Structure 1
Amino acid sequence: MAFSTRLATLISSIAFSTYFFIVIFQIPIFRVPCRMGICKTPLEVTSSQLIASEVFPLFIVKTLLYPGAFAKAICKQKSIPTYANLLKLHNFRARAMSATSDLQHLEVLAGSYLAVGGAIAGLIKPGRMSLFGILLLMWGLIMGKSGFSHDTGIHIYPAMYVVLLSAFFSIRRDVRKIIRSFNLKHIVKVKRF
């Protein structure tokens, strides 16, 4: 029993670390039109909407965007962006979209909010918010590709499936149930022989 708890804790912490890394360091998982042109991460969708709605101060949005900009600069061997230059780097003020185009991607917007919120809240305790966010994102992107939305340029990258699995396995209680079910099946097979 203690082994399954420790194993579930290990699996869920590794899965959440993977999920957090992909979301916060802005590894592209999809491509969808947004206010800044093309968004490739949930953090870009969330940030563009937060800047447009002016709900949060800009320094909070910049703080969320900086780890991804830092990681991209390191990977591309470019100079590290300054905090003041961050919004120019992402072209957040380049193109404005109407409210109706935001409503066409409502699932993507809500899923992005939940995915980013799940990554931040998961630092305290990983939960289902990240899983629901990724599922809502996938639903919005798949429906957008299948003809319910007439936009072109929507694409899902293979990293989306890694994020989905990471979000699922970051829920410790569900991982513990899976491990226990495998242990019970193994015990039943041993008792029969």
Structure 2
Amino acid sequence: MASSKKWANLICSIAFSIYFVIIIFQVPIFSVPCRIGICNTPLEVTSSQLIASEVFPVFIAKALLYPGAIAKAIWHWKSIPSFGNLLKLHKFNMRLVSAASDLQRLEVIAGSYLSVGGAILGLIKPGRMCLFGILLLMWGLIREVIMGRSSLGHEKGIHNHIYPAMYIALVAAFFSIKKDVRKIVRSFAREEDVKVKRY
């Protein structure tokens, strides 16, 4: 019993770490029109909405974007951008998006908020918010393609809007939920015990 609990905790911690890296360090997982042109990460969607709403200080959006900016700079062998020029780098508020356009992508916006919130709150205690966020994001993107509302020109296929990293994030989000993982590990442990008893 103790070993199965350890295995479950190990799986959850690894899964959440993968999910956290994908979300916070802004690994591209989708492609959707937004206020900066094309957003590829939930953090870009969330930050653009936070800046446009003017409810939270710009500092919060910058703080969310900075780890990803550092990771991108290191990955592309470029100089690390300064905190002050971060919004110019992302070209925020350069493209005006109407409220009606935002409402059409409500699932993507809500899913992005939940994905980012799940990654941050998961540092305290991983929960289902991560999974709900990714599922809502996927549903919003798939629905946009099916309804033919995408403004990405000739790229109409789902695979052009959802990148492979999205599926990794989905699996990682599922396996970061301790209760579900413990049930899976226990069921495997019981099956192994039954096999041992048979032989």
TM-score exceeds 0.5: yes
Question: Residue 94 of structure 2: SS of its match in structure 1?
Answer: coil
1:73 maps to amino acid: A
Residues 88-145 of structure 1 deviation map (CA, whole Å, 9 limit, x = unaligned): 0001121110000001110000000000000000000000000000000001111111
Question: Residue 31 of structure 2: SS of its match in structure 1?
Answer: strand
2:135 maps to amino acid: L
Instruction: Tell me, yes or no, if the aligned pair for 1:104 and 1:149 is still in contact at 8 Å.
Output: no
Aligned partner of 1:38 in structure 2 is 38
- The TM-score, its normalising length taken from structure 1, stands at 0.97
Aligned partner of 1:83 in structure 2 is 83
Aligned partner of 1:112 in structure 2 is 112
Aligned partner of 2:150 in structure 1 is 151
Unaligned runs of at least 5 residues, structure 2 = 153-159
Q: Give 1:152 shift.
A: 3.4
Number of paired residues?
192
Query: Matches of 1:149 and 1:21 in 2, distance apart?
Result: 32
Q: Give 1:186 shift.
A: 1.9
Query: Matches of 1:190 and 1:87 in 2, distance apart?
Result: 60
Aligned partner of 1:169 in structure 2 is 175
Moved runs in structure 1, 4+ residues, more than 4 A?
none
Q: Give 1:149 shift.
A: 4.4
Q: How much identity, in percent, do the aligned residues show?
A: 70
2:151 maps to amino acid: T
Q: Superposition RMSD on alpha carbons, in Å?
A: 1.0
Unaligned runs of at least 5 residues, structure 1 = none
